[in-house]
Amino acid sequence: MNHRMASARRGLGALGVGLGVAVILAAFPARADDAPLSAAAVYRAASDGVVFILGLDQEKRTAAHGAGTIIGADGTVVTNAHVIMDPRTNKPYHWLTVFLKPAEITGESENDLARGFQAQVVGVHVELDVAVLRMQRAPAGLVVVPFGDSEQVEVGEGVAAIGHPGGGGMWTLTVGTVSSKRRQNNREVFQTDAALNPGNSGGPLLDRDARIVGINTHIVRQDKQGMALEGLNYAVRSGAVVRWMQSQGIAVNVAQRGAAVAVAVAQAKPQPQPAAKPQPQPQPQPQPQLAAKSQPQPAAKSQPQPQPQPQPQASGSREPRPFPGPAGERFYGVPNPKMDMSKITDYLRRKVAANAEGAFEDLEIRTGPSDPR
Is the predicted pLDDT of residue 107 greater than 60, yes or no? yes
Instruction: Name the pLDDT band for 173 (thresholds 50, 70, 90).
Output: very high
Pairing of strands 233-237, 187-192: antiparallel
Is the predicted pLDDT of residue 238 greater than 90, yes or no? yes
Instruction: Name the pLDDT band for 307 (thresholds 50, 70, 90).
Output: very low
Instruction: Name the pLDDT band for 234 (thresholds 50, 70, 90).
Output: confident
Tell me whether domains 9-44+146-265 and 50-144+341-363 share a fold: yes
Instruction: Tell whether domain 50-144+341-363 is in CATH 3.90.1150.10.
Output: no
What mean pLDDT value characterizes the chain?
74
First-to-final CA distance of the chain: 23
pLDDT digits (tens, 9 = 90+) for 11-30: 555 433 333 333 333 344 44
For the segment 95-113, the average pLDDT, to the nearest whole number, is 89
Q: DSSP letter at 209?
A: T
Spatial separation of the C-alpha atoms in residues 116 and 96, rounded to whole Å: 10
Which is higher by pLDDT, 69 or 288?
69
pLDDT digits (tens, 9 = 90+) for 211-233: 999 999 976 554 555 555 455 78
Helix, strand or coil for residue 175?
strand
Is the predicted pLDDT of residue 371 greater than 60, yes or no? no
Is the predicted pLDDT of residue 276 greater than 50, yes or no? no
Angle between helices 39-46 and 260-268 (to 10 degrees): 80
Q: Give me the pLDDT at residue 288, please.
A: 36
CATH number of 9-44+146-265: 2.40.10.10, 3.20.20.220, 3.30.420.40, 2.60.40.420? 2.40.10.10
Side chain identity, residue 84? I
Domain ranges of the chain: 9-44+146-265, 50-144+341-363
Is the predicted pLDDT of residue 196 greater than 60, yes or no? yes
Q: Give me the pLDDT at residue 287, please.
A: 38
Is the predicted pLDDT of residue 124 greater than 80, yes or no? yes
Beta strands in 187-272 (DSSP E): 187-192, 204-206, 212-220, 233-237
